[in-house]
Structure 1
Amino acid sequence: MTTFTSLDELRAAVGAQLGSAGPIIVTQERINGFADVTEDHQWIHVDTKRAAAGSFGTTIAHGYLTLSFVAPFLESLLIVEGVQATLNYGLDSVRFPAPVPSGSEVSATAVLAEVTDKTGGAEVRVQVTMTIPSSPKPVCVATVVMRIVE
């Protein structure tokens, strides 16, 4: 975890590694729950028997389920003290280079990519890379945009 005591300290740290977080275990129950909430019941996510015979050999997590781990990972990787709020503002890019098989442990690393002054605070971009032990490729690479309110 990286804690910054001010927005000025954050500005000075552009390019810094923020550390690593996780793992989050992606159980079949978690995948099924996400399918229910999003109404995305595609068989590669929820039909364990059919998926066992498919190209991945098991069910895989939804890409957007994997992406949702950005929130808890960033909560543990980046803290800015002395500000009113840190808000999700959006994403500049998201890629899913590799699948997340059910039962995987997803971890993340992050780099503070950019801090741009805005009225009342700053806009912050963080490059988050999520991995699992069984894959040579990342499972998600996202540029997250946050607004920090002073």
Structure 2
Amino acid sequence: MRVFTSVDELEQAVGTEVGASEWLTVTQDRVDLFADATDDHQWIHVDVERAAAGPFGAPIAHGYLTLSLLPSFARQIFRVEARMAVNYGLNKVRFPAPVAVGSSIRAVVRLLEVTRVGEAVQVVSSTTVEIRGGTKPAVVAETVGRFYL
């Protein structure tokens, strides 16, 4: 894990890959819990038998489930020493490839921009969620966080 202790360190890291998270196996239980939490029970996610005969050959994780894992992945990759951090939003999100249940995924973070905004430092990152053995990423997202130093 990379730890940033100053704005200068963050600024020096712009344009670089900060690191990668550990691999996480996506289980049917996790998909089912997300379906319950979001009331999205589409068969491609939760009906194992029907999904096996469907277009992906297996149930797949919700794209938003994969996206929701970004904060957890980011905590494994880097930390900014700050009194408070908040998710400020997303500039762009794409889901190029489905994540089949049983697949393993991880995130890779690259810092794109660091800007001082009042008491905060705004950090824009590109996060790519890779699928182990896959040719396309599951998620490519430009995230925006604010760190209050």
Pair in the same fold by TM > 0.5: yes
CA–CA separation in structure 1 for the residues paired with 2:85 and 2:36:
29
Code of the residue aligned with 2:56 in structure 1: it is F
Distance 1:145 1:31 in 2: 26
Equivalent pairs counted in the alignment come to 149
TM-score, with normalisation over the residues of structure 2? 0.97
Q: Structure 2: which 5+ residue stretches go unaligned?
A: none
Query: What amino acid does structure 2 have at the position aligned with 1:53?
Result: A
Runs of 4+ aligned residues of structure 1 deviating over 3 Å after TM superposition are none
Measure, in 2, the Cα distance between the counterparts of 1:48 and 1:68.
22
Report the counterpart of residue 17 of structure 1 in structure 2.
Answer: 17
Q: Is the 8 A contact 1:7 1:80 kept in 2?
A: no
1:52 match: 52
Deviation string, structure 1 residues 11-39 (Cα, Å, up to 9, x no partner): 22111211110211110000000000000
- Structure 1 gaps of 5+ residues are none
Q: Deviations over 1:33-81 (max 9, x none)?
A: 0000000000000000101111111100000000011011111112112
Shift of 1:7: 2.0
Distance 1:16 1:57 in 2: 37
Q: How high is the TM-score relative to the length of structure 1?
A: 0.96
- List aligned pairs for 1:39-118, cutoff 5 A: 39-81=39-81, 83-118=82-117
| Structure 2: distance between partners of 1:121 and 1:32 | 37
C-alpha separation between the residues in 2 aligned to 1:49 and 1:143? 35
Q: Percent identity?
A: 49
